[in-house]
Amino acid sequence: MTIARLNGIRLSWTDHGGDGPPAVLVMGTGSPGRVWDVHQVPALRRAGLRVVTVDNRGIPPTDECAAGFTVGDMAADVAALIEHLDAGPAAVVGTSLGSRVVLELALARPDLVGRVAALAAHARLNPVQEAYTAGLVAASEAGVDLPVQLWSAMQATHNLSPSTLDDDRAARDWLDVIGFGGAGVRAGHRAQLRVSLELDDRRDAYRGIGVPVLVVAFADDRAIPVRLSREVADAVPGARYAEIADAGHYGYLERPAEVNRVLVDFLTG
């Protein structure tokens, strides 16, 4: 892990090495870059890529920036990192909020972006997701801490496929993993949630993206339903679309072999 002052903040990232083309991986709301380490980093390294994972602003040890920020700030952070590493044009991979970051980066700095893989891509939130996100923000602002068991069950139900939850052993393992992180929303995580609430519908803007884009949807995703990802694929000129079966919002962890296959095919093709 390396920390340097970039784009006006302390930004943390890990360069996993490799002599091939660079690929920068951007996580979703509330998650550190190391979530990619278990499945995606090894697969992309084996494919010959130089893999870099980043902790978005809001996620320590990167500055939390609890007073607030925009998706443009987050995209500028990734741009500053690519420039700092002299790694442009780079492939960029994002999931959930990270998908919005890398798509905005492709719009703002196409000179730094070779291609984009957007997992759980979306150009807007639907009413249920808006309500869920606003509720998390309100609970955090009110200092409400749910019991860990309830928090873990909520997150598992929201983010995992029924095919995963129908396996009792897998469900227990996931509840344990989620519970290890504790319950509740930290200040930086809350600021990231606000970013999602403040985003406009970007379908028209995405029609201006001029780099190759792969949209990956997860068939059982409750957080970002498939139809929202299809909207992105329909908006971006020439975008490819892939849908992963039996996968929820955490599809890159639930079905890593399938996700890695489509990523490697796109990023190295």
- Give mean pLDDT, residues 96-110: 98
Q: Identify the active-site residue in 12, 31, 96, 161.
A: 96
Indicate if 221 belongs to the active site. yes
Residue 74's pLDDT is 98
Strands 22-26 and 50-55: parallel
Q: Identify the active-site residue in 63, 77, 220, 221.
A: 221
Q: How far is CA 264 from CA 41, 239, 252, in A?
A: 11, 16, 13
Instruction: Provide the CATH number for the domain around residue 224.
Output: 3.40.50.1820
Give the number of domains in the chain: 1
If phi > 0 it is left, if psi is from -120 to 50 it is alpha, else beta; for residue 80 that is alpha
- Joined tokens for residue 10: 């302390």
Number of neighbouring beta carbons within 10 Å of residue 131: 11
Total-model pTM: 0.95
152 lies in some domain: no
- Give mean pLDDT, residues 203-232: 98
Question: Which of 76, 115, 121 lies closest to 92 in space, CA to CA?
Answer: 115
Indicate if 249 belongs to the active site. yes
66 has pLDDT over 90: yes
263 lies in some domain: yes
Q: pLDDT exceeding 70 applies to what percent of the chain?
A: 100
154 lies in some domain: no
107 lies in some domain: yes
Domain that includes residue 50, residue range: 2-128+185-268
More confident residue, 145 or 194: 194
Indicate if 173 belongs to the active site. no
Measured CA angle at 24 (ends 53, 44), to 5 deg:
85
96 lies in some domain: yes
Measured CA angle at 152 (ends 146, 154), to 5 deg:
80
Q: Which parts of the chain are beta strand (E)?
A: 2-6, 9-15, 22-26, 50-55, 90-95, 113-119, 213-218, 240-244
